[in-house]
Structure 1
Amino acid sequence: MKLFLAFITKEFKHILRDTRTLIILFGMPIVQIILFGFALTNEVKDSRIGILDYSKDEASRQIIQELDASRYFDVEANFSSPQQIDQAFKEGRIRLAVVFPAHFRHSLFQQNTASIQLIADASDPNTATTVVNYASSILKSYQDEVLGEQTLPYTIQPEIRMLYNPQLKGAYNFVPGVMAMILLLISAMMTSIAIVREKELGTMEVLLVSPVPPILVIVTKAIPYVLLSFINVSTILILSVNLLDVPIQGSLLLLLGESMLFIFAALALGLFISTITNSQQVAMLASLMVLLLPTLIFSGFMFPIENMPKPMQFISNLIPSKWYFFIVRDVMIKGLGFKSVLKESLILVAMTIGFVLIALKNYKTRLE
């Protein structure tokens, strides 16, 4: 037991003496959670809009004030002709133009119908759709306020509720995705590099023929990264709650337990990578190229999996981060219990066992 603890202590000292490793271990999670939380978001705020108001009556002024008062829009310019709108779009000064026809208020109150033209820059279709939806929502609110208690025949008034994320904050989706990406990269990459480093230095065989069984030697290389990854999980959760205002709706113990399960799966994947590489550079490239891109594409936090072709949906099932992303989203954001994530948990357990068995088989082959 003393020898086992000595191996673990040795690995901790290796990590603590390596400044670059410490920066990756603790700097990457903080930078990425802040970057994804604030810079990379699908929310659209303070979009610059232009107004072409042919009516210039009380109703159009009220709508313009409501658009400008919202956190989604800033009125950048007031135009006097359609040509000015076209030029503003070409110069990139605005994302949306709102055109009020002549006699807007008269048409609204006397004829009970009025139109407003929304012109958006669709070179970025997602942003265009978002700003049009925001503007339409503000117009709908104004219409409801004007109608008051009046009811129109055959009018359908949809009642919309946004569950779990009423304000549609992008951080609610990015935090689970960033957690999956960081833990997978750090745990798998660091573990594979730590073992490959011993191969490069020619000390791996010395370790494997020591009194400690080979399986325990491998475990001692992984244990420090289990503890460090758990610290990263705690750091991400603290930043998410206090900096990004993303609450933990479900059980914190369940969330931490599932995170540990994913860490074990990532470590097992790192062991597998270490068995098929012989240099730290190759191990790092394999971890980044094989893990980073699939996590971004197939985990579901940036691109909807259900919109992908069937072959790509099948490939996504082989990515561990996809299942952990679903777990974090269900537990942290939706507040669900263990029964709701049982399927995903069993899949991660199966992946962990599979990676460990493959890694051990390869190590046995090296020792023969």
Structure 2
Amino acid sequence: MKQLFTFVRKEFYHVLRDRRTLLILFGMPIVQVLLFGFALSTEVKNTKIGILDYEKSQNSLELVSKINSNQYFEVDKNLNAIHEAEDAFKAGQINMIVVIPHNFSENFIHGKKAQLQLITDGTDINMANQIINFMNNIVNDFYVENHVQQLSGAIPEIRMLYNPQLKGAPNFVPGVMALILLIICVLMTAIAIVREKETGTMEVLLVSPMKPSIIILAKTIPYFILSMIILISIILLSVTLLDLPINGSLLLLFFVSIIFIITNLLIGVLISIMTNTQQNAMLISLVGTMLPTVMLSGFMFPIENMPVLLQAVANIIPAKWYYEIVKNIMIKGTGIEVIWKHILVLTVSMIILFVLAVKKFKIRLE
């Protein structure tokens, strides 16, 4: 036990005296949370639109006022002809045009919905679809407030469960947590062990009486502690700056995060065993873990839309299961009765990786 403590303390010295490493460990999580939470948000806010009002009646002005009074859209241009709209689109001045027809008030007085025309910039199809959906909701609310019937005879009630304001943080924060913990744990652990090989100190470890499992523990404990500190920092940033509540059990969230962190640390150990230089370890860590996490974890792209083969590959990526667990706990507020299968997959992955790491390390000791 004394040997383990001494080795862990030595590893802490290696980390704390390297300012660049500290910057990566604590600077990158803060930057990514803020970046994904604010700059890369998918929310529709203050989108500039143009209004082409052919009628200019009291009713149409009330509709324009309602559109302009919400946080999603800003009426930037009042157009007089359709060709002005085309020029505004080409100049990138607006993202949508609402065309109010001549018979708007006539239909409005008779309690019917006029056929508004919504024109968007289709060069960004995702953004265009979001803008149309938001505008449809605003227009429907306007008709409901004025007791105007829908053409089909019924006005549907639209609700967004768990994220009624369509904020980007509930989607990005769980993915950022998985991505940051994976990069920190895998990359830093792999480099730390390979550094021992390059400096020649690994030879001392190879002839020491320490067991392989003790060496693995000693190299991973410092990064486990640092990862827990980073996890707490991410949660605090999410709650305080991004207004993201934790609807489920915080204790369960930390328990699952510990399993995920250990799993990633063991992946880093395996990478370090297979490589002899820090450059190779870094390359494999980034390409072999970060890209699959971004592409196949469901963080950026829906897994259901992928081919069956890629869906099967996604199921063996620990980040995919962790991402779904965090979403369920933080956003939906579900308990272990819903996510126990996800936790089981992560636990089995952790055990398999630990057995492989110890076995491979024994081979190198012989």
TM-score for both structures, normalised by structure 2? 0.97
- Please report how far the alpha carbon of residue 260 of structure 1 lies from its aligned counterpart in structure 2 after TM superposition: 0.5
Tell me: CA distance 1:214–1:113, structure 2 relative to 1, closer, same or farther (3 Å): closer
Q: Residues 162-208 of structure 1: CA distance to partner in whole angstroms, max 9, x if unpaired?
A: 22112111100100000000001100111111000001111112113
Instruction: Tell me what 2:348 maps to.
Output: 350
- The reply on whether 1:339 has 2:346 as its aligned counterpart is no
Q: Bigger shift: 218-227 or 108-117? A: 108-117
Measured in 2, the distance between the counterparts of 1:20 and 1:287 equals 18
Contact 1:52 1:80 in 2 (8 A): yes
Contact 1:200 1:279 in 2 (8 A): yes
- The reply on whether 1:125 has 2:125 as its aligned counterpart is yes
- The reply on whether 1:291 has 2:289 as its aligned counterpart is yes
Contact 1:261 1:349 in 2 (8 A): yes
- Please report how far the alpha carbon of residue 154 of structure 1 lies from its aligned counterpart in structure 2 after TM superposition: 6.1
Measured in 1, the distance between the counterparts of 2:103 and 2:156 equals 28
Tell me: CA distance 1:90–1:154, structure 2 relative to 1, closer, same or farther (3 Å): closer
Contact 2:97 2:120 in 1 (8 A): yes
Measured in 2, the distance between the counterparts of 1:363 and 1:343 equals 30
Letter in 2 for 1:367: L
Letter in 2 for 1:74: E
Instruction: Tell me what 2:105 maps to.
Output: 105
Measured in 2, the distance between the counterparts of 1:163 and 1:359 equals 43
Measured in 2, the distance between the counterparts of 1:10 and 1:210 equals 16
Instruction: Tell me what 2:28 maps to.
Output: 28
Instruction: Tell me what 1:116 maps to.
Output: 116
Contact 2:113 2:150 in 1 (8 A): no
- The reply on whether 1:91 has 2:91 as its aligned counterpart is yes
Q: Residues 315-350 of structure 1: CA distance to partner in whole angstroms, max 9, x if unpaired?
A: 111211000001101111111111211111111111
Instruction: Tell me what 1:137 maps to.
Output: 137
Measured in 2, the distance between the counterparts of 1:195 and 1:134 equals 51
Instruction: Tell me what 2:177 maps to.
Output: 179
Structure 1 stretches of 5 or more lacking a match?
none
- Please report how far the alpha carbon of residue 152 of structure 1 lies from its aligned counterpart in structure 2 after TM superposition: 7.4
Secondary structure of the structure 1 residue equivalent to 2:197: helix
The share of aligned pairs that are identical, in percent, is: 51
Contact 1:29 1:232 in 2 (8 A): yes
Tell me: CA distance 1:98–1:259, structure 2 relative to 1, closer, same or farther (3 Å): same
Contact 2:112 2:150 in 1 (8 A): no
Instruction: Tell me what 2:79 maps to.
Output: 79
Measured in 1, the distance between the counterparts of 2:124 and 2:67 equals 21
Secondary structure of the structure 2 residue equivalent to 1:114: coil
Contact 2:113 2:151 in 1 (8 A): no
Measured in 2, the distance between the counterparts of 1:231 and 1:113 equals 56
- Please report how far the alpha carbon of residue 267 of structure 1 lies from its aligned counterpart in structure 2 after TM superposition: 0.5
Tell me: CA distance 1:60–1:153, structure 2 relative to 1, closer, same or farther (3 Å): closer
Q: Bigger shift: 6-15 or 346-355? A: 346-355
Measured in 2, the distance between the counterparts of 1:51 and 1:181 equals 42
Letter in 2 for 1:27: G
- The reply on whether 1:279 has 2:277 as its aligned counterpart is yes
Measured in 2, the distance between the counterparts of 1:360 and 1:121 equals 56
Instruction: Tell me what 1:304 maps to.
Output: 302
Instruction: Tell me what 1:63 maps to.
Output: 63
Letter in 1 for 2:47: S
Measured in 2, the distance between the counterparts of 1:146 and 1:188 equals 58
Measured in 2, the distance between the counterparts of 1:34 and 1:79 equals 37
Measured in 1, the distance between the counterparts of 2:280 and 2:228 equals 26
Structure 2 stretches of 5 or more lacking a match?
none
Tell me: CA distance 1:152–1:68, structure 2 relative to 1, closer, same or farther (3 Å): closer
Tell me: CA distance 1:154–1:169, structure 2 relative to 1, closer, same or farther (3 Å): closer
Q: Residues 108-164 of structure 1: CA distance to partner in whole angstroms, max 9, x if unpaired?
A: 21373421111001111111111111111111011011117xx67962232222221
Contact 1:191 1:225 in 2 (8 A): yes
Measured in 1, the distance between the counterparts of 2:315 and 2:272 equals 23
Root-mean-square deviation over aligned CA pairs: 1.4
Measured in 2, the distance between the counterparts of 1:306 and 1:201 equals 46
Contact 1:48 1:76 in 2 (8 A): yes
Letter in 1 for 2:105: R
Contact 1:15 1:22 in 2 (8 A): yes
Secondary structure of the structure 2 residue equivalent to 1:230: helix
Instruction: Tell me what 1:323 maps to.
Output: 321
Contact 1:272 1:356 in 2 (8 A): no
Measured in 1, the distance between the counterparts of 2:101 and 2:4 equals 80
TM-score for both structures, normalised by structure 1? 0.96
Letter in 2 for 1:85: A
